Amino acid sequence: MDIDVKKVAMLSRIRLTDDEAAELGPQLANIIGYVEQLSKVDTDGIEPTAHPHDAAMPLRANIVTNGNRRDELQASSPKIESGLYVVPKVIE
Protein backbone atom coordinates (compact mmCIF):
# COMPACT_ATOMS: atom_id res chain seq x y z
CA MET A 1 0.00 0.00 0.00
CA ASP A 2 1.53 3.25 -1.12
CA ILE A 3 0.51 6.13 1.14
CA ASP A 4 1.67 9.66 0.43
CA VAL A 5 2.40 10.76 3.99
CA LYS A 6 3.40 14.24 2.87
CA LYS A 7 -0.01 14.74 1.21
CA VAL A 8 -1.86 13.50 4.31
CA ALA A 9 0.27 15.81 6.46
CA MET A 10 -0.49 18.75 4.19
CA LEU A 11 -4.23 18.04 4.31
CA SER A 12 -3.98 17.78 8.11
CA ARG A 13 -1.99 21.02 8.26
CA ILE A 14 0.93 19.21 9.93
CA ARG A 15 4.51 20.10 9.02
CA LEU A 16 6.73 17.00 8.68
CA THR A 17 10.38 16.58 7.82
CA ASP A 18 11.42 13.91 5.31
CA ASP A 19 12.71 11.72 8.16
CA GLU A 20 9.41 12.00 10.05
CA ALA A 21 7.45 11.18 6.90
CA ALA A 22 9.62 8.12 6.27
CA GLU A 23 9.03 6.92 9.83
CA LEU A 24 5.29 7.58 9.81
CA GLY A 25 4.62 5.97 6.41
CA PRO A 26 4.72 2.34 7.62
CA GLN A 27 2.76 3.21 10.76
CA LEU A 28 0.01 4.85 8.73
CA ALA A 29 -0.03 1.88 6.34
CA ASN A 30 -0.53 -0.47 9.32
CA ILE A 31 -3.45 1.60 10.60
CA ILE A 32 -5.14 1.69 7.20
CA GLY A 33 -4.53 -2.05 6.80
CA TYR A 34 -6.27 -2.67 10.13
CA VAL A 35 -9.27 -0.57 9.07
CA GLU A 36 -9.46 -2.58 5.83
CA GLN A 37 -9.49 -5.80 7.88
CA LEU A 38 -12.37 -4.46 9.95
CA SER A 39 -14.37 -3.52 6.85
CA LYS A 40 -14.15 -7.14 5.63
CA VAL A 41 -15.86 -8.53 8.75
CA ASP A 42 -19.37 -9.87 8.03
CA THR A 43 -21.80 -7.99 10.29
CA ASP A 44 -25.06 -9.16 8.70
CA GLY A 45 -27.65 -10.05 11.32
CA ILE A 46 -25.76 -8.42 14.18
CA GLU A 47 -27.73 -5.90 16.22
CA PRO A 48 -26.13 -2.48 16.60
CA THR A 49 -24.83 -1.66 20.04
CA ALA A 50 -26.47 0.96 22.22
CA HIS A 51 -25.70 4.57 21.38
CA PRO A 52 -26.15 7.51 23.75
CA HIS A 53 -27.97 9.52 21.08
CA ASP A 54 -30.70 6.86 20.96
CA ALA A 55 -31.67 7.43 24.59
CA ALA A 56 -34.56 9.75 25.35
CA MET A 57 -33.66 12.44 27.84
CA PRO A 58 -36.51 13.08 30.27
CA LEU A 59 -37.17 16.76 30.85
CA ARG A 60 -37.99 18.12 34.26
CA ALA A 61 -40.63 20.74 34.85
CA ASN A 62 -39.30 24.29 34.79
CA ILE A 63 -40.33 25.16 38.33
CA VAL A 64 -38.45 27.46 40.72
CA THR A 65 -37.50 25.41 43.77
CA ASN A 66 -35.52 27.98 45.74
CA GLY A 67 -36.80 31.49 46.15
CA ASN A 68 -34.99 34.80 46.53
CA ARG A 69 -33.12 34.65 49.87
CA ARG A 70 -30.95 37.74 49.30
CA ASP A 71 -32.17 39.66 52.36
CA GLU A 72 -31.75 36.61 54.58
CA LEU A 73 -28.22 35.91 53.30
CA GLN A 74 -27.13 39.56 53.53
CA ALA A 75 -28.48 40.05 57.06
CA SER A 76 -25.10 39.26 58.65
CA SER A 77 -23.12 41.60 56.38
CA PRO A 78 -21.78 44.78 57.99
CA LYS A 79 -22.84 47.07 55.14
CA ILE A 80 -25.29 46.62 52.24
CA GLU A 81 -26.29 49.20 49.67
CA SER A 82 -29.01 48.60 47.04
CA GLY A 83 -28.75 44.85 47.59
CA LEU A 84 -24.97 44.81 47.08
CA TYR A 85 -22.16 44.14 49.55
CA VAL A 86 -20.11 47.23 50.34
CA VAL A 87 -16.43 46.55 51.05
CA PRO A 88 -13.52 48.84 51.90
CA LYS A 89 -11.56 50.30 48.98
CA VAL A 90 -8.26 48.43 48.61
CA ILE A 91 -6.83 50.02 45.45
CA GLU A 92 -5.59 53.60 45.50
Whole-model pTM? 0.45
> Within 13 A of 15's CA, how many CA atoms are on the CB side?
0
What pLDDT is attached to residue 62? 87
Q: How far is CA 74 from CA 11, 13, 68, 83, in A?
A: 58, 55, 12, 8
Give the Cα separation of 30 and 26 in Å (integer).
6
Q: 19-45, pLDDT tens digit by residue?
A: 999 999 999 999 999 999 999 999 899
Element of type H or E holding 69: none
Residue 3 has pLDDT above 80, yes or no: no
